[in-house]
Amino acid sequence: MALIEIDGLTKRFGHFTAVDNVSFAVERGEVLGFLGPNGAGKSTTMRMLSGFMTPSAGRARICGHDVQEAPIAARRSLGFLPEGAPTYPEMTVLGFLRFVAAVRGYHGGEAADRVAHALSLTTLDGVRLQPVETLSKGFKRRVGLASALLHDPPVLVLDEPTDGLDPNQKHEVRTLIARMAPQKAIIISTHILEEVDAVCTRAIVIARGRIVADATPKALAAMHPSGRLDDVFREITQKPATAEAA
Amino acid sequence: MRNTLIVARRELGAYFATPVAVVFIVIFLALQGVLTFNLGNFFARNQADLQPFFNFIPWVLLLLVPAITMRLWAEERRLGTIELLLTLPITQTQAVLGKFLAAWVFCAIALLLTFPFVVTVNYLGAPDNGVIAAGYLGALLVAGSFLAVGSAVSAATKNQVIAFVVAVAVCFLFAVAAYPLVTDFLAKNAPVMAAVARRLSITARFDSFSRGILSLRDGIFFASFIGFWLFVSILVVDQKKAD
């Protein structure tokens, strides 16, 4: 059984269809790069997968639990980093992670261990007593990441996990993802194409709410004579638009 | 229940981590003090009770409680943390109840800090402290009612100013529901509604508490009023969370 199953997921806002009949599955050990231009429907798809947004049609399952019908069971198996990595600004890093640990059902020594482990995975030890609002963008992103990793979930859905990080931090996060990959099913959305090469075993490209490519990064790159991912990306995300215009 | 308390504890911590708590409590105490002692003629009445204090408290709460509730959901939506909160393994009901509980405990703390009024009146005379206790219970229920209304309004908007103004307006309607202004108008135009309005009046219910009359009816009224608006909050959060 695939840990993530998405089946015919559709989201309409009035007459605008943001996500149009998207289906795919992600197995344990896969790191799926979810690519697409801004506004293509990446975040909307992830919001529906996390159960935050109710789909207009279709369903999503995490570890076999339907995210709408069994939301609590699905969310227990999910580590989710929402777009922009939102956190409560007035809380300290430690306070915030303790809150997440408590909601996740850990207490006492186990909660402390979980929090300590998440802090060390994301190298946040040095700032653990600082309020989140005083941190730089890269640190804030890592606080969000730490909260998603805290309960060591089988499924990770990360919306732009490396946005705002400096090159060293990006490298650390990618190494972390690669290290966790064998035990988990991971989806990361990104528009940084080098990231796909660096960590993803598979890439899905979405444009105007529809999947336009689903392949390994290598196969994807081979779709253009230049063999470069950004050429492929430009071609497959822009071509239908010009066709429609013509 | 456990998750509700975890959310409530985080929320309550947030009040005290920001200047919200201090500003609210100071303004609340100052307003109550000025109104009770100056406008309420506390001393000139020469009676050992807290009637002037309780006369003003629903109106002060009407103004200040929406200032607490305006951020309950609107702030979560503005910061995007609602997406984080509602994708944790808690139900929307737990989140709504947790936030309401934190705000209610906060109001209770503010009310407790009015203890110098009780001390003063006991020092000056021999008041009926049972009546005073009933008044405090009533004030807490009024605060809870306004909080529940404000929670529903806050869930419907991202804009805190709108959340504040609309919550004050709705609470005001329930505060003046038994006033001649409203009942006379309704008696002329919709006689059936006049009786309904009188029954829905928060201030009329509170008046019996402040006179020391505890009735099951009033208790049930407040419980259902709070329950109804929390139920509305849960529905609105569910409908509007991702907008």
**pLDDT, tens digit, for every residue of B163-220?**
999 999 999 999 988 888 778 888 788 777 777 888 888 888 998 998 888 999 999 9
d(CA A204, CA A161): 17
List the single residue in A with minimal CA-CA distance to B18.
A90
pLDDT tens per residue, range B75-89: 898 899 999 999 999
The reported pLDDT for the residue numbered A186 is 95
Which residues of B fall within a CB distance of 8 Å from A82? 80, 83-84, 87
| Among B14, B83, B88, beta carbon nearest to A75 | B88
Confidence band for A245, pLDDT divided at 50, 70 and 90:
very low
pLDDT tens per residue, range B20-46: 899 999 999 999 988 988 887 787 777
Tokens coding A173: 């996060």
Give a yes or no: residue B186 inside a domain. no
Q: Do B242 and A47 touch (CB under 8 A)?
A: yes
d(CA A79, CA A88): 17
What total number of domains does chain B contain?
Answer: 1
**Between B234 and A37, residue with greater pLDDT:** B234
The reported pLDDT for the residue numbered A239 is 64
Phi-psi region of B219 (alpha: psi -120 to 50; beta: other; left: phi over 0): alpha
In which residue are the tokens 């906060």 written?
A: B106
Q: Do B89 and A86 touch (CB under 8 A)?
A: no
Which residues of A fall within a CB distance of 8 Å from B241? 52
Q: Do B79 and A147 touch (CB under 8 A)?
A: no
The reported pLDDT for the residue numbered B144 is 96
Q: Is the pLDDT of residue A14 over 80?
A: yes
Q: Do B81 and A86 touch (CB under 8 A)?
A: yes
Residue ranges of chain B whose CB lies within 8 Å of a chain A CB: 3, 6-7, 10, 13-14, 17-18, 79-81, 83-84, 86-91, 241-242
The reported pLDDT for the residue numbered B170 is 94
**Residues A84-111, mean pLDDT to the nearest whole number:** 94
Q: Is the pLDDT of residue A246 over 60?
A: no
List the single residue in A with minimal CA-CA distance to B95.
A103
Strand partners, A190: A35
Which residues of B fall within a CB distance of 8 Å from A75? 87-89
Q: Is the pLDDT of residue A243 over 70?
A: no
**Between A238 and B216, residue with greater pLDDT:** B216
- 3-state SS class at A7: strand
Confidence band for A149, pLDDT divided at 50, 70 and 90:
very high
Lowest mean pLDDT among A236-240, B124-128, B166-170: A236-240
The reported pLDDT for the residue numbered A143 is 94
Q: Is the pLDDT of residue A191 over 90?
A: no
Give a yes or no: residue B199 inside a domain. no
Q: Do A72 and B17 touch (CB under 8 A)?
A: no
| Among A78, A82, A104, beta carbon nearest to B83 | A82
**Residues A140-169, mean pLDDT to the nearest whole number:** 91
- 3-state SS class at A154: coil
Q: Is the pLDDT of residue A244 over 50?
A: no
Give a yes or no: residue B185 inside a domain. no
State how far residue B128 is from chain A, nearest Cα, in angstroms. 43
> What ipTM, to 2 d.p.?
0.89
Confidence band for B243, pLDDT divided at 50, 70 and 90:
confident
Mutation to test the B interface, candidates A92, A99, A107, A187, most B Cβ within 10 Å: A99
Sign (positive or negative) of CA dihedral A132, A137, A139, A141: positive
Give a yes or no: residue B176 inside a domain. no
List the single residue in A with minimal CA-CA distance to B1.
A103
**Residues B145-169, mean pLDDT to the nearest whole number:** 94
Average pLDDT, chain A: 89
Give a yes or no: residue B190 inside a domain. no
The reported pLDDT for the residue numbered A242 is 47
Angstrom CA distances, B130 to A59, B33, B176, B211, B212, stand at 58, 22, 27, 10, 7
Which residues of B fall within a CB distance of 8 Å from A78? 87
For residue B148, the enclosing domain spans: 2-171+211-242
The reported pLDDT for the residue numbered A240 is 55
Which residues of A fall within a CB distance of 8 Å from B87? 50-52, 75, 78, 80, 82
Give a yes or no: residue B68 inside a domain. yes
State how far residue A109 is from chain B, nearest Cα, in angstroms. 17
Buried b (16+ CB within 10 A) or exposed e, B153-169: bbbbbbebeebbebbbe
CB burial class (10 A; 0-12, 13-18, 19+) of residue B208? middle
**Residues A111-129, mean pLDDT to the nearest whole number:** 92
Give a yes or no: residue B181 inside a domain. no
Give a yes or no: residue B53 inside a domain. yes
